[in-house]
Amino acid sequence: MPTVGIRELKAHLSHYVRLARQGERVIVTDRGREVAELRAVAPAHPGLKELIDSGVVKWSGGKPTEFPRPIEIRGKPISDTVLELRDDPLR
């Protein structure tokens, strides 16, 4: 894993980006201390990309700020029903 100072990185940025694109991790140092890591971007989940490309979901690139309120369901919990069905000798 190559290590490069900030000055050298600025002078030869395209070289180090090429290394990262090829899968190499490059450690960036400032005055001898490791401060950053340059690496290739992990591929996005293909299923999510398909949903975005098809327009089913929209994503602006940020984190969600608000979630819809959960639906309130009346009645007994489904877990109780599952337990009852497990205990039912006819099933």
CA 5 – CA 9 distance, rounded (Å): 6
Per-domain residue ranges for the chain? 3-54
pLDDT of 25 strictly over 90: yes
pLDDT for residue 91? 62
CA nearest to 12, candidates 42, 34, 41, 38: 38
Give the tens place of pLDDT for each residue, 35-45.
999 998 876 67
Rounded to two decimals, the pTM is: 0.49
Per the structure block, which two tokens stand in for 86? 């497990």
Domain 3-54 grouped into CATH 3.40.1620.10:
yes
Which helix (H) or strand (E) segment is 7 a member of?
helix 6-11
Tokens 């971007």 belong to 41
